[in-house]
Structure 1
Amino acid sequence: MLLKRHRSSDENKTVKRHRRSSEALLLPLHVVELILERLPVKSLVRFKSVSNKWKSTIESQYFQDQWFLRRKQSRGPDVLCVAIGDDYYNNINQGYYEAAPRDTVLLGSSVVSKVRLPITNMMLCHGSCDGLLCSYCSFTPCVVINPATRWQQSFPLSNYQQLCIDMVDKNQYDFPMPKLGFGKDKFRGTYKPVWLYNSSKFGLENVTTCEVFDFSKNAWRYVVPASPYKINDVSFPVHLDGSLYWLTLCEETKVLSFDLHTETFQVICKAPFPRSSERFRSRNYIMCILDNRLCVSEKKGTTQVIWSLDSSGGNKTWKKLCSIDYAKTLFGVKPILPLAPIEFLDEKKLLLQDSGSLVMHDLHTKSYDSLLEPEPIEYPVSYFQSLFSVSSN
């Protein structure tokens, strides 16, 4: 008598997975794409293993562009509180750390959460560019990382970083420490890290020196001519619509732009405040991007004013976006540095960062609420998830 063999539970699961995969492959490709466009990043990363066709679809530039556009149109930006560095600073195990429920706040369609990146560079470029973050240091290779897919790529030291290393080797520590800029050439779709630094402390004759990294050649190159004005290297450069922006360090503060396509510098307008030629005083000014607009924040005594650049009609004028009264905030004291504006969330609520906490300012009620308590070394960034990597552009 023949005994019928029963499948094990693992075998049954394998058969069911194979059946579902086979059924999925029978769907027309355009239907598959419409379904995949509505899925989160984690699901898409897993579904690349369904078939070679699904993998090539999800990794295609067209699909990634469409998925990213759909996500931006369907909801507001998220905010990632990015912790970087080693265990000495973060007190958690090496590797990715994703937010626990207590470290997540929902604001309308936006999510404020925490993430830790497994990198040792201690600085992060302002904001994100297409869901990519760029971490850097004056002495170690920079890293571009996608926190959603966990893709990352480092790139070699620039000439500026080598100059810093040479100065330290000579026990000379009085050299510029600018912030790295990171943005995208919107015409070619290529990402570009940019160092722009004041040259005099390195004994160079030019006013500033500019270096751009070319991922296709895996090399840095100089851009000549660089900015004719010294830059405020205390403030972070910001990226908007294919250009990077700096504040200048001169008698009359100007807003300087660097077109990432033509790689040319241009002064676009004066700043809405008189001057910031003194380096210490320049700490009172923060440039940022809010609601896809170039903004400058100015700390004056017990208040902080945020200005927005209006370029409608071809004329560039500054408009007062809002004012923050320190006496009415949760702190009730004047902070040493201005609060850093992060992003508008849930319509008219502005998220700000103080050195010790995240604060939500309601522009209608003028009220303030404390949100997540950040780690000692943590950078809140406005952020949309994406599937992008440098190699996909």
Structure 2
Amino acid sequence: MLRRHNASVNFSVVGNHEVLICDGLLCLCSLYEQSASVVVNPATRWHRSFPLSNVQHLIIEKNNKSEVAYPLPRLGFGKDKVTGTYKPVYLYNSFEFKLDNVTTCEVFDFRTNAWRYVVPSSPYRILGHYEPVYLDGSLYYLTKEETEVLPFSFPAETSFEVKLLSLDLHTETFQVICKAPFVQPHSSDLYSITMCILDDRLCVSEKNWPNQEIWSFDGANKTWTVMCSIDLTESVSLFEERSFARSSIAQPSIALVDKNKLLLRGNDYFHTLFIYDLHTKSFDLLFKPPKPVGPVYYFESLFHV
């Protein structure tokens, strides 16, 4: 259920699901159920459903067979700035699904009400642990290119190079933008990294307890600068499940308010929302849902597909 004051829109999303946001539109899809995906505007109560992608059918088939060794591709959702068309996108590594090529890309076309493949797809395998982010007509991903197996490591560890990858939603072409040298090249815990959009700029967070650094990308110069470094020690008291604050999982950034207040979403079951003041370096609890139901934070609009 999505709620705005005393108005609500009901739809069926059972079990694990994803919610993507663009221009105040929420795109929801279920990972294991046959129920259709839906795009909804909570402000106007407008909504439209669309069918499952090919990879969703593959996941449901594997789940029904009780298979466990397969990835869960993350949905992307953004807008073609030239035509104004909104596009749900699945980009995933092909090998795990016994498909050809390095990756496979599916885009949903609301005009034909059908999914179609984008060819060629990304030439690099992607880090599929998190959803891509949308900015200014493109979806952004991080790629993982393995370089070598580290000697004398047990269990065996692989060194890899991480790059920033974009998908232009108008031309539907991929482009490797630059390397991301700040990501630990030998790190085995990829959940310590998360992408976000802050102040209309692409940002990446990297958590290494007790600190979390947020890097901002300058698209014109293709350079990264440290936006801030957060000491998460003081945030522990905001969580009932305190192990989450100390875990290696990065706290996703939601928005930058008044240039000096950072909204962060906790990695606990409740997705607790708290504020970090960049000047005073202090934390304040903003909102904690009464139940672990997966709250969604968005800015209202009057857009529709």
State the TM-score, normalized to the length of structure 1.
0.66
Task: Check conservation: 1:272, 1:307, Cα contact below 8 A.
Answer: no
Q: 2:150 maps to which residue?
A: none
Q: 2:234 maps to which residue?
A: 328
Q: 2:297 maps to which residue?
A: 381
Q: 1:176 maps to which residue?
A: 71
Q: 1:132 aligns with which of 8, 12, 25?
A: 25
Q: 1:59 maps to which residue?
A: none
What pairs with 1:210-289 in structure 2 (closer than 5 Å)? 210-250=105-145, 251-275=160-184, 281-289=189-197
What pairs with 1:275-314 in structure 2 (closer than 5 Å)? 275=184, 281-311=189-219, 314=220
Question: Equivalents in 2 of 1:304, 1:339: separation in Å?
Answer: 8
**What is the percentage of aligned positions where both structures have the same residue?**
51
Bigger drift between 258-267 and 347-356 goes to 347-356
State the TM-score, normalized to the length of structure 2.
0.84
Query: Greater helix percent: which structure?
Result: 1
Pick 1 or 2: higher relative contact order, CA cutoff 8 A, min separation 6. 1
Question: Equivalents in 1 of 2:17, 2:10: separation in Å?
Answer: 12
Quote how far apart the aligned CAs of 1:117 are.
5.7
Distance 1:164 1:276, change over 3 A: farther
Quote how far apart the aligned CAs of 1:270 are.
1.2
Task: Check conservation: 1:238, 1:244, Cα contact below 8 A.
Answer: yes
CA RMSD in angstroms comes to 2.2
Structure 1 spans left out of the alignment, 5+ residues: 1-83, 85-95, 101-113
Distance 1:252 1:336, change over 3 A: closer
SS in 2 for 1:365: coil
What pairs with 1:81-160 in structure 2 (closer than 5 Å)? 96-99=2-5, 118-120=11-13, 122-126=16-20, 128-139=21-32, 140=34, 141-160=36-55
Question: Equivalents in 2 of 1:232, 1:204: separation in Å?
Answer: 17
Q: 1:352 aligns with which of 246, 258, 264?
A: 264
| Greater C-alpha radius of gyration | 1
Question: Equivalents in 2 of 1:155, 1:294: separation in Å?
Answer: 29
Q: 1:68 maps to which residue?
A: none
Question: Equivalents in 1 of 2:113, 2:174: separation in Å?
Answer: 23
1:257-287 per-residue CA deviation (whole Å, 9 max, x = no partner) reads: 0000000011111124244676x51100000
SS in 1 for 2:59: helix
Matched residues, number: 278
Q: 1:74 maps to which residue?
A: none
Quote how far apart the aligned CAs of 1:200 are.
0.8
Structure 1 runs of 4+ aligned residues shifted over 4 Å read: 114-117, 275-278
SS in 2 for 1:329: helix
Q: 1:198 aligns with which of 75, 81, 93?
A: 93
Query: Greater strand percent: which structure?
Result: 2
